[in-house]
Every structure is written in C-alpha cells, then in structure tokens.
C-alpha cells in the first residue's frame, strides 16, 4: 500500500484486544503507521450485541463527559450517530435522579452532558469505523499467545498467535484488558515480575435489562458510601427505549443473581424513583440477571521497572483497572490512546516511544486511581479492622461534608459533577468558595464514622 501523507513510521503496529482501549489505540496508530492490525481473541458480532471477551459489557457503562469529548475528536460524528441509534443525550444534573448518602440531589441544569447507551452499541459504532479505516485490519478469533522478542529481549518485534502464526510489528500495544497476560509474558522474557497494587472493596454487580415507559429521568444513581452504606444502583435508559439496571454491593454484600432476589435487593435500597421504574418495567426475556465480581482496583507499576522493552506499550485495563462504580475505565483508556498518539506525533525515533508513552499512560491513571482507591481503601480498612485509619479520615470527612452540601447547594453539586466527569481536576473541590462552604456551611451529622448499614439515605 502507498504510504499516505503524514504517516511516518514504516511497518505495522499490532494492537492486542478490540475493547474500547484497543479500538481507540488502533484509530490513533493509523495516523502514524502504514498498517495497523487489531487482534481480538473473541468473536466480534456483525451487529451491536453481547460478545465473549467483555462480560462487563452486560452492565451499565456510563461514559464520562471527558471521554465522550475525546471520542468525538477521534471519531467525528460519533455522538450524532449514537443519538440517531436511539441513545439519549441529557444534562446529568437535570435528568439524572441522584441519591447520595445525605439524600436526593435536587435536579438542576449543570451543563454536564451524559449519554445513555449500551456498551455494545458504543463498541460496535467504534468498531465499524475502525474496521472501515483503510490502514486497519481487524481480526477476531485471533488470540495472542505471546510476544516475539529481539535476541537480547530488549525489544518486542511482534506477536505470536495460535497455530504458531507470527506477526511482525514495529510497535505492539497491549490493550487486552483486566486479565492481560503481559506480566507473565515479561517474566517469560527474563524481566522481573512487575509490581502490582490491588485494592479490593469486595464489590459485586448484578444487572437486568428492562423495557419500561419513559420516566422523568434518563439515568438513576444511588451511590453507596464508605464506610457504612454498602449498596447502590445505576440505571440508564439506553438505545431502543430499553433500560439497564445494575445493583451493587460492597464488602461482600453482593446482589443475588436470580430475579426474585435481585428485585428484593433493589427494593431494599428504598429509592422511590427506582421502585417506580421497576414497578412498570418488563424484564427483557432472554437477558436474565448477570453478575460480575472482579471489580478490584488493580494497577501494574510498569513505569517503576528498571528495564522496559522498546516498542511495547500497554494501555487501558491492562495497566490499571478500576472499581467500576466511578465509571472511569473507558474514559481513561481513550485518554491514554490519545496520549499514545501525541507521543508518536512528537517522536522521531520509535525506540524512544515506548517508555515515554508508558509514563504518560501512568500519569493519566494517577488521579482516577486516587479517586477510586481512597473510597475503596475505606471499605477495605473497615472490613479488615472495623475502623478507618487516621490518615484516611480527613479525606472521607471532607467528601461527606461536600456531599451533604451537594443536596442543598446546586453550585457545589455542579462542581462535584465536573470533577466526576473529569472535566475539572479534583483540586476544583478545594477551591476557595467550595472550601469555605464545606468548612462553614455544613450542618448536621456526617462528620463521624457511623455504624455499618445497608439501607437508603438518611
């Protein structure tokens, strides 16, 4: 194939895994390589629908506003296409029924837009676009079984597939998700086992799909809250007028995966909007109840390794997978793919890319990791010791006061949502106005460490 204008690196880039991270990485790499081969172990359906390889796709997948913005840059027209497919786009403050431990958040316009679609639809839309890209070859049923190395194992030169098939590569991107085999592949090549940090809140999801009439909300969030409120729910109206309803519980307080038990669990939340929706909802017959328990935060310290192979980059859940309650994973993957593209754009030499890109990937992980882990460490400590360590108390104290304010102060909630959607950094929540309000305006409880309980808001 002729080398189109602007493509600077010869040969092909290989991406392992066609999830959100792999698809966006392939799109970005196509700007810089003659060819991109995207390899997926599972079967990729021709229509938007469930597939093996991403069992988490059965559960509510909210895309943060920052991720949506960046996806639109990479795939212009995507948002309009999703809307045309029946996916609602709405103001998160106005059309989400949000309950936090302190109560129901009053509805108000925030300017933070959220989108309701199934992960299947999002992935399919991205997949169509990537598959049609002239430089990209998308192969499903193609599990990568290992990496190919230079003789001294200092550089990755390709991948191995089943039946001893080998693909050479100028750059390999691992986007094979939470269960990536990359740590073992590195060990097999003589590298020390990468350190991994795991923080587990003992959280499980269970999800049902429903047909239901329109409501006065497009999404419902019932947030759990460490250390006392173990249960929560996410509900999203998706394409086709369907609703996805996920209930979840931390500290082993797991939702049942039979319909009767699931409904009881949901009812115990004591959320009137959820009760109203479920009362008029008909379960999608063939869908059933789907559970998911592998929700621990897991981060590989790849940038802490003294040696890192040239021509290898890992992104997405393969590097850091988060507790899904915060809805960060897809956005983080997209931002990392973007960072990979920027690193390539600024590089003259491919050999310098891997380390640099991996550092940028790690930098993108840092804030979402802190947000996710600070809450989950509270669960963890509470479960292990029945109390919180002193060093964790101020952050939790501040967050609880902030949420207490959010139910009475629209400005504070708007700021909170902007940070939640990664449109602003967390430091926005300690800006002078918010800080003063948090310190001096909050009344009532929320400062102590209440006893463990399961039910709805106070």
Ligand X SMILES: Cc1cc2nc3c(=O)[nH]c(=O)nc-3n(C[C@H](O)[C@H](O)[C@H](O)COP(=O)(O)OP(=O)(O)OC[C@H]3O[C@@H](n4cnc5c(N)ncnc54)[C@H](O)[C@@H]3O)c2cc1C
Footprint of ligand X (CB under 6 A): 16-22, 39-42, 53-54, 56, 59-63, 143-144, 175-178, 205, 292, 295, 316-318, 324, 327-331, 333
Q: What is the DSSP string of 372-393?
A: HHHHHHHHHHHHHHSS--GGGH
Determine how many CB atoms are found less than 10 A away from the CB of residue 195.
12
Of 143 and 256, the one with the shorter C-beta distance to ligand X is: 143
Closest CA to 301 of 187, 195, 392: 195
Place of tokens 């967050």: 399
Of 116 and 327, the one with the shorter C-beta distance to ligand X is: 327
Of 143 and 450, the one with the shorter C-beta distance to ligand X is: 143
Closest CA to 226 of 101, 321, 327: 101
**Structural contact between residues 169 and 13, judged by C-beta atoms closer than 8 angstroms:** yes
Provide the minimum distance between the beta carbon of 179 and ligand X in the complex, in angstroms, as a whole number. 7
Cα 340 to Cα 154, 414, 456, distances in angstroms: 20, 31, 43
Which helix (H) or strand (E) segment holds residue 66: the answer is helix 65-74
Provide the minimum distance between the beta carbon of 431 and ligand X in the complex, in angstroms, as a whole number. 26
Place of tokens 């009475």: 408
Provide the minimum distance between the beta carbon of 386 and ligand X in the complex, in angstroms, as a whole number. 27
Order across the sheet with 156-161: list the strands.
144-149, 156-161, 166-168
Separation of first and last alpha carbons in the chain: 64
Provide the minimum distance between the beta carbon of 60 and ligand X in the complex, in angstroms, as a whole number. 6
Provide the minimum distance between the beta carbon of 437 and ligand X in the complex, in angstroms, as a whole number. 29
Of 75 and 292, the one with the shorter C-beta distance to ligand X is: 292
Report the C-alpha gap between 117 and 355 in whole angstroms.
35
**Structural contact between residues 171 and 350, judged by C-beta atoms closer than 8 angstroms:** yes
Of 238 and 350, the one with the shorter C-beta distance to ligand X is: 238
Provide the minimum distance between the beta carbon of 228 and ligand X in the complex, in angstroms, as a whole number. 23
Provide the minimum distance between the beta carbon of 307 and ligand X in the complex, in angstroms, as a whole number. 23
Of 308 and 322, the one with the shorter C-beta distance to ligand X is: 322
Token representation of residue 376: 């989950």
Of 60 and 226, the one with the shorter C-beta distance to ligand X is: 60
């Amino acid at each position: 194939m002729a080398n189109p204008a602007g493509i600077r690196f010869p040969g092909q880039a290989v991406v392992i895994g066609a999830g959100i991270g792999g698809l966006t990485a392939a799109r970005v790499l196509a700007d810089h390589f003659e060819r991109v081969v995207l390899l997926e172990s599972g079967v990729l359906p021709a229509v938007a629908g469930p597939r093996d390889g991403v069992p988490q796709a059965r559960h509510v997948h909210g895309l943060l506003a920052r991720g949506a913005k960046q996806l639109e840059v990479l795939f212009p027209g995507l948002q309009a296409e999703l809307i045309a497919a029946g996916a609602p786009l709405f103001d998160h403050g106005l059309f989400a029924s949000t309950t936090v431990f302190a109560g129901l958040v009053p509805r108000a316009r925030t300017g933070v837009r959220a989108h309701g679609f199934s992960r299947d639809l999002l992935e399919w839309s991205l997949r169509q676009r990537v598959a049609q890209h002239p430089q990209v070859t998308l192969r499903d049923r193609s599990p990568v079984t290992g990496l190919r190395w230079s003789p001294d194992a200092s550089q990755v030169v390709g991948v191995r597939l089943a039946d001893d098939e080998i693909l050479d590569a100028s750059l390999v991107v691992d986007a094979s998700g939470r269960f990536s085999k990359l740590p073992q592949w590195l060990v097999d090549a003589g590298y020390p086992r990468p350190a991994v940090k795991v923080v587990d809140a003992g959280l499980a999801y269970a999800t049902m799909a429903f047909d239901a009439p329109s409501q006065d909300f497009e999404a419902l969030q019932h947030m759990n809250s460490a250390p006392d409120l173990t249960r929560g729910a996410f509900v999203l109206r998706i394409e086709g007028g369907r609703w996805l309803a996920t209930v979840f519980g931390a500290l082993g307080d797991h939702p049942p995966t039979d319909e009767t038990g699931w409904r009881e669990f949901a009812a115990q939340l004591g959320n009137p909007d959820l009760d109203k929706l479920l009362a008029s909802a008909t379960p999608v017959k063939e869908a059933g109840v789907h559970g998911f328990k592998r929700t621990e935060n897991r981060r590989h310290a790849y940038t802490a390794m003294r040696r890192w192979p040239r021509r290898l980059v890992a992104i997405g859940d393969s590097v850091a997978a988060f507790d899904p309650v915060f809805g960060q994973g897809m956005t983080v993957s997209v931002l990392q793919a973007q960072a990979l593209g920027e690193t390539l754009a600024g590089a003259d030499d491919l050999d310098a890319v891997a380390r640099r890109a991996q550092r940028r990937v790690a930098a993108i992980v840092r804030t979402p990791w802190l947000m996710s882990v600070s809450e989950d460490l509270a669960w963890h400590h509470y479960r292990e010791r029945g109390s919180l360590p002193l060093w964790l108390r101020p952050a939790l104290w501040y967050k609880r006061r902030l949420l207490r304010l959010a139910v009475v102060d629209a400005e504070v909630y708007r700021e909170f949502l902007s940070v939640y959607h990664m449109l602003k950094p967390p430091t926005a929540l300690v800006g002078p106005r918010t800080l003063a309000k948090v310190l001096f305006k909050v009344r009532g409880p929320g400062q102590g460490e209440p006893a463990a309980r399961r039910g709805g808001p106070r």
